Amino acid sequence: MYDDIADEMIEFGRRAKESILTREMALALAGRHGAHLEGVTGDHMGVIGALAAVGLRRGGHDGRFIWLEGVRELTGTSTAGTLLETTGIDSVETLDGRPLPPDAEVVVDPWPRPVLLHGRAVLLT
Q: Tens digit of pLDDT for each residue in 75-103?
A: 999 999 999 999 999 999 999 999 999 99
* CA angle in degrees (0–180, nearest 5) for 75-90-92: 60
Whole-angstrom Cα distance, residue 1 to residue 104? 37
Question: What angle (nearest 5°) sits at the alpha carbon of residue 69, between those of residues 67 and 73?
Answer: 80
Q: Which of 1-5, 38-42, 88-92 has the lowest mean pLDDT?
A: 1-5
- pLDDT beyond 90 at 11: yes
- How confident is the model at residue 116, as a pLDDT? 93
Sign of CA dihedral 56, 59, 61, 67: positive
Domain spans of the chain, in order of start: 2-59, 77-124
